Amino acid sequence: MKPFFVLIKCQLGKSYDVATQLADAEIASEIYSIAGDFDLIVKFYVPDEIDIGRFVNDQVHHIPGIHDTKTLITFKAF
């Protein structure tokens, strides 16, 4: 399994709705609200053979209330 993070910028007033939809979909390992340029940081795990870009496109981007995303691919956990 390979982990990665997605920073999500939500439409105004939609961060709780987006977080709830992600949690209900049971595709995320962890979901946190954050301060700054983005509203949420979400940790995902996918099998090694899964394309991360396609996963984000197919499983995350369609959620109503998401304005923008930034995917952070990880290399090594310490």
Confidence of residue 3 (pLDDT cuts 50, 70, 90): very high
- Give the H/E segment covering residue 20: helix 15-25
Q: What is the pLDDT of residue 37?
A: 97
Answer for the pair 6, 57: CB distance below 8 angstroms, yes or no: no
CATH code of the domain occupying 2-73? 3.30.70.920
The full set of domain ranges for the chain reads 2-73
Widest Cα–Cα separation across the chain = 36
pLDDT tens, 6-50?
999 999 999 999 999 999 999 999 999 999 999 999 999 999 999
- Between CA 23 and CA 32, with CA 29 as vertex, the angle to 5 degrees is 70
Answer for the pair 39, 10: CB distance below 8 angstroms, yes or no: yes
